[in-house]
Amino acid sequence: MLQHYLIAFLFSCLLTVPAFGTPIIDKVGKVIQPDKPFQRIISLYGAHTRNLIDMGAGSQIIAIGRSDKQLPDLPKLSFRDDPERLLALKPDLVLIRPMHSRAYPQIVERLEASNVAVVSLQPTSVDEMFRYWEYLGILSGHPEEASHMIARFGAGLVEINRQVERIPEEKRKKVYFESIHKRMKTFALQSMTIFVLESAGGINVAQDAVQVRKSNIAAYGKERIFSKAKKIDVFLAQEGRMNKVTTEMIRNEPGFQVIKAVQNNQIFLVDEKLVSRPTMGLLEGITQIFKILY
């Protein structure tokens, strides 16, 4: 039912391309109604950068975040930098995440005092992701291209869904999906990562996971993992900056030898950018996990 609902939602977006000037409400509740597209954009989150490139706005980006490996010839900045470093590039828009807004409100105030728009965006679910793409399209002057991205995502999801539906329910793999190994964390039920897993035909064994502070992360712990040990067909873990883990670390974790997936050597790592970032890369993540499972 979830897949059919989302597919219907995706294609409904084709009929409602947002007009330029549509008000945008960012993640901290700020309302932005630009009267023209922004042309000098500092993007301080890799997903912002990727999505702007994909919708044809890459040439409007003038600087990126320090850890961003895209557009390597551009200056690299941090929101911890002196705001004068950002202002020296004469941006008209700085795209950030809520964590920046909360941690550095004084920098937001300094930039806005210099007539630079600061917009905080980061979706935490797939339906929010489509709206987020629309917002980036409006801000950059590429609303139709953003709608085309949504359409491509929908078409890819339909194709993958056809393959998943060929797998009988009783043969679907039960999966534990790790987000942070050191803290024994998994993913919140409404997160994009669990959407990726379920879209690939996996059954999430951590349905009772407790979401952490309205984030994509959920608390679990060894005791709960062990309680599902005999049911876990496949142990997945995101791998990247948030979770610097190896299959050996998982296999050698004290007590994990009781887990069915560990016993059967069914431990797999997936690039966090393909399962946690709100980009078209999620389709690649779904395809990759489908191949792992089936």
**pLDDT for position 16:** 56
Please name every residue paired with 269 in a beta bridge, in sequence order, or none if there are none: 237
d(CA 121, CA 1): 28
Whether 170-293 and 2-150 are alike in CATH topology: the answer is yes
**Helical H segments across 141-221, by residue range:** 143-165, 192-199
Please state whether beta strands 210-211 and 217-219 pair in parallel, antiparallel, or not at all (unpaired).
antiparallel
CATH class of the domain defined by 2-150: alpha beta
Q: Which residues of 61-81 are buried (b: 16+ CB within 10 A; e: fewer)?
A: bbbbbeebeebeebeebebee
pLDDT tens across 97-116, in order?
999 988 999 999 999 999 99
Query: What pLDDT is stored for residue 2 in this prediction?
Result: 46
Give the Cα separation of 292 and 294 in Å (integer): 6
- Report how far residue 39's alpha carbon sits from residue 123's, in angstroms, rounded to the nearest whole number: 23
Instruction: Give the confidence band of 13 by pLDDT, cuts at 50, 70, 90.
Output: low
Inter-residue contact 32 to 26 (CB < 8 Å): yes
Instruction: Check pLDDT > 60 for residue 8.
Output: no
Rounded-to-integer distance, Cα 100 and Cα 98, Å: 5
Q: Delimit the domains of the chain by residue range.
A: 2-150, 170-293
**Can you give the pTM of this predicted structure?**
0.90
Question: What 3-state class would DSSP assign to 188?
Answer: coil
Report the CATH superfamily, name and number, of domain 170-293. Answer: Nitrogenase molybdenum iron protein domain (3.40.50.1980)
CA 284, CA 54: separation in Å to the nearest integer?
Answer: 15
